[in-house]
């Protein structure tokens, strides 16, 4: 009987050690995933929110939520698609909460159009060309802000994150046809707003 209980204790210790090793491997794997995809998640949220602090906070929230649920990731979509779906849901929650806080001014935390245009690579070196580029960026942002939430999300994923239609559909849970329709409507609205500049 003593050898049986010793054998069971030994097997129990082995199982605990095996689970610990597996947990460490999962943590290392997730750390690599977070490092790889964090810039894309941040870039998407920054482009969507135009608020550096909110984008940073939601990026951290997205990665924290993904880390907590990493063991339940089934691999039915790419890791990026899964992470972007989490980010999109957090972004929707953010906007919902923001609507309730009407007293908070958007302009105090938003990214300035001049600052955003300086992030874009530019081959023009003259001050006149730089001013024109800043104006174009400002007009595009203004046009994008006028889109519905779903159109803006599809537009950003397509043109900022350069995702294809199938990836976008997977990330936001819509059919490819619906994504194409939202993208088409968004493009028509942006072009109309820009008056033929696009």
Q: What phi and psi, each to the nearest 5 degrees, are found at residue 124?
A: -75, 140
Q: What is the CA radius of gyration of the chain?
A: 23
- For residue 110, the model assigns a pLDDT of 46
Q: Is residue 169 part of a domain?
A: no
Query: Are 68 and 58 contacting, i.e. CB atoms less than 8 angstroms apart?
Result: no
- For residue 120, the model assigns a pLDDT of 54
- For residue 99, the model assigns a pLDDT of 58
Q: Is residue 59 part of a domain?
A: yes
Q: Is residue 175 part of a domain?
A: no
- Give me the tens of pLDDT residue by residue for the chain, a chain 198 residues long: 555 555 555 555 554 445 455 566 678 888 999 999 999 999 999 988 888 999 999 999 999 999 999 988 888 889 999 999 999 999 988 877 765 554 344 334 445 555 555 555 555 457 777 777 778 878 888 888 889 989 988 998 888 888 889 989 988 889 999 999 999 999 998 888 887 554
Q: What is the CATH number of the domain that holds 90?
A: 1.10.1740.10
Q: Is residue 151 part of a domain?
A: no
Q: Is residue 50 part of a domain?
A: yes
Q: Is residue 124 part of a domain?
A: no
Query: Over the range 143-180, which residues count as b (16 or more CB within 10 Å of their CB) and which as e?
Result: bbeebeebbbbbbbbbbebebebebbbbbbebeeeebe
Helices and strands in the chain: count of H runs, count of E runs: 8, 0
Q: What domain range includes position 27?
A: 11-109
Q: Is residue 63 part of a domain?
A: yes
- For residue 175, the model assigns a pLDDT of 93
- For residue 7, the model assigns a pLDDT of 55
Count the domains in the chain: 1
Q: Is residue 58 part of a domain?
A: yes
Q: Which residues contact 58 (CB under 8 A, 6 or more apart)?
A: 45, 49, 87, 90, 91, 94
- For residue 35, the model assigns a pLDDT of 95
């Amino acid at each position: 009987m003593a050898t049986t209980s010793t054998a069971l204790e030994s097997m129990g210790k082995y199982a605990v050690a095996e689970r610990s090793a597996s947990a460490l491997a999962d943590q290392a794997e997730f750390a690599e995933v977070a490092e790889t995809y964090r810039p894309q998640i941040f870039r998407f949220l920054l482009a969507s929110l135009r608020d550096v602090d909110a984008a940073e906070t939601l990026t951290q929230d997205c990665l924290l939520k993904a880390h907590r649920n990493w063991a339940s990731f089934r691999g039915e979509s790419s890791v990026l698609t899964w992470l972007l779906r989490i980010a999109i849901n957090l972004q929707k929650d953010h906007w919902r909460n923001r609507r309730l806080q009407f007293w908070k001014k958007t302009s105090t935390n938003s990214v300035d159009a001049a600052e955003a245009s300086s992030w874009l690579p530019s081959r023009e070196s003259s001050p006149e060309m730089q001013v024109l580029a800043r104006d174009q960026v400002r007009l595009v942002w203004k046009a994008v802000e006028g889109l519905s939430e779903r159109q803006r999300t599809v537009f950003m994923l397509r043109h900022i994150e350069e995702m294809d239609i199938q990836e976008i559909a997977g990330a936001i849970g819509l059919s490819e046809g619906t994504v194409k329709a939202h993208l088409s409507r968004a493009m028509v609205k942006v072009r109309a707003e820009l008056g033929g500049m696009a």
